[in-house]
Amino acid sequence: MCVSSKPLGLLLYIAQKIILNFKLKAAVLVIAVNSIFSLGLKVKNEVILNISPVKTPFSLFNLYDNPIVNLFEGINGEIIVARGSFLEVFDKNGRFLKRVGNLGEGPGDFKNIIFLKKYQNEYYILDFPNLLNIFDAKFKFRKRFYLQGKRNSPFVFDFEISGNYIIAAQFWRTFMGEEKKENKDKVISIYDLNGKFQKAIFNFSNALNLLGDEAYLNPNICTFDDLICVTFAALNKIWIIDKEGQLIKVKTFGINSWRKIPYSSEREEQLRKRGFDQAKILAWFLTSGDWVYDVSFYRGYILINALRNKETQDMNLGVSYIYILDKNLQNINSLIFLDKYFLGGVGRKFLYFVRYLQVPSARAKTKIEVKKCVLERF
């Protein structure tokens, strides 16, 4: 049966309005409807967590000026929160279970936890800037090693484990001759599961040619089907490559919705003359546009978590706008979000959206609300 596009568009518009105004506890939020069957967020459960003050070296404390909370899903469905040098583990109902780690240099200690990943019933915990710690399912320490080669930066921006390899978003620079002229920087390092460097892939010039300033191009990665997705913070572009670094697909997303960071060297110089240091300059540009906070693979979809800072009087200074792509980088939805919440973590089962219930503080016990959501097709 052939259906006229105008009545169909009107039907979709009316359906969208009904959904957006239908207020239930487990409301479905559908922000963009591109077809009769569209993906939306459904709240399955919500919990309140009381998270402890951050404990980390003083030199790293300013990392917590940004109120984003990183959550991780445990092997048995626990909710895990990183608080600098330790993890707080809660059950699925928000009841506190245990604390893992302390500030220190010994086995099982941390300086500043960046990421936690699960692989083959173990936890891989990345400590600043590139020390990878491995714990069993009960958080018993097993071993640790540095993700480090001869010429790569020590800082790891993101990592994944796929096919018995550790894939790290980590700048790798090669040099030629005595003048040490840079020759095609790489942005991904691949290690075996014991931390032995294997190779570096994917030229950083893919991003640098589009913006021109490295400070706004932190890389993020996720993996699926033995492939690697790569994004950079200030760009609304995603690449899919194989483990040899060969380009499979590339896509510009958010053409109509992405708010570009208004970076220019002239504007940076103006801010410097106004007394802004480099950290404040970076913050000024980032908060003036959208930026990719994370990219994840969730139940067959690629999720790009773009953070948009808002002029607001409430306690939550940014909202996650989620772009959803399929494996072929086709748009599933234009954009979805949960108002006043940011996407704090992506697990195998749930998406964890977070907002503060009191003024954000790294120095005091703080109460947050966590909504556990799923993507459902309608």
Q: In this structure, what DSSP letter does residue 212 have?
A: -
Report d(CA 271, CA 367) in Å as an integer: 35
Residue 373 forms beta bridges with which residues? 43, 351
Q: What DSSP line would sit under 144-156, residue for residue? A: EEE---SSB-S--
- The letter for the amino acid at 171 is F
Distance between alpha carbon 373 and the CA centroid of its chain, in Å?
Answer: 17
User: Does residue 13 carry a pLDDT above 60?
Assistant: no
Beta-carbon contacts of 277 under 8 Å, excluding residues fewer than 6 positions away, are none
Alpha carbons 374 and 351: distance in angstroms, whole number: 6
Percentages of the chain per state (helix, strand, coil), in multiples of 5: 15, 45, 40
pLDDT of residue 183: 58
Mean pLDDT check: name the lowest of 56-65, 333-342, 367-376.
Answer: 56-65
- At 66 the pLDDT is 62
Q: Convert the pLDDT of each residue in 264-301 to its tens digit.
A: 889 889 999 999 888 788 888 888 889 999 999 999 99
The length of the chain is 378
Q: Can you name the residues that pair with 356 across neighbouring β-strands?
A: 368
Tell me which residue of 307, 306, 300, 305 sits closest to 348, measured CA to CA.
300
- Per-residue pLDDT reduced to its tens digit, 219-232: 999 999 999 999 99
Per-residue pLDDT, 4? 33
Residue found by looking up tokens 């891989």 in the block: 124
Side by side, which strands form the sheet with 331-336?
290-298, 301-309, 318-325, 331-336
Tokens 């409301």 belong to 27
- Torsion angle, alpha carbons of 265, 269, 272, 276, to 10: -40
pLDDT tens digit sequence for 191-204: 999 999 999 999 99
Task: Provide the 8-state DSSP code for 261.
Answer: -
Residue-range domain boundaries for the chain: 41-377
Please name the CATH architecture into which domain 41-377 falls. Answer: 6 Propeller (2.120)
Mean pLDDT of 94-101: 96
* Residue 203: alpha-carbon gap to chain centroid: 21
Share of the chain above pLDDT 70, in %: 83
CA–CA separation, 43 and 353 (whole Å): 10
pLDDT number for residue 291: 92
Q: How far apart are CA 117 and CA 123, in angstroms?
A: 6
If one compares 57 and 90, the residue with the highest pLDDT of the two is 90
Contact by Cβ (8 Å): 356, 366: yes
For residue 161, give the amino acid letter.
I
Encoded amino acid at 275, one letter: G
Cβ-in-10-Å burial (0-12, 13-18, 19+) of 232 comes to buried
Give yes or no for residue 7 having a pLDDT over 70.
no
CA-only gyration radius of the chain, Å: 21
pLDDT confidence of 8, banded at 50, 70, 90?
very low
Starting at the earlier edge strand, list the strands of the sheet with 141-146. Answer: 113-119, 122-127, 131-136, 141-146
In the chain, which residue ranges form alpha helices assigned H by DSSP?
5-21, 205-211, 265-273, 278-286
Q: How far apart are CA 187 and CA 206, in angstroms?
A: 10
Closest CA to 374 of 352, 341, 343: 352
Task: State pLDDT tens for residues 134-155.
Answer: 999 999 999 999 999 888 889 9
Q: What is the band of 166 on the pLDDT scale with cuts at 50, 70, 90?
A: very high
Q: Give the pair of three-digit tokens for residue 96.
A: 């506190």
Q: Is the pLDDT of residue 357 over 80?
A: yes
Dihedral sign from CA coordinates of 59, 60, 61, 67: positive
Nearest C-alpha neighbor of 28 from the set 12, 44, 14: 44
d(C-alpha 15, C-alpha 122), whole Å = 44
User: Mean pLDDT score of the chain, rounded to an integer?
Assistant: 85
Q: How many CB atoms lie within 10 A of CB 98?
A: 11
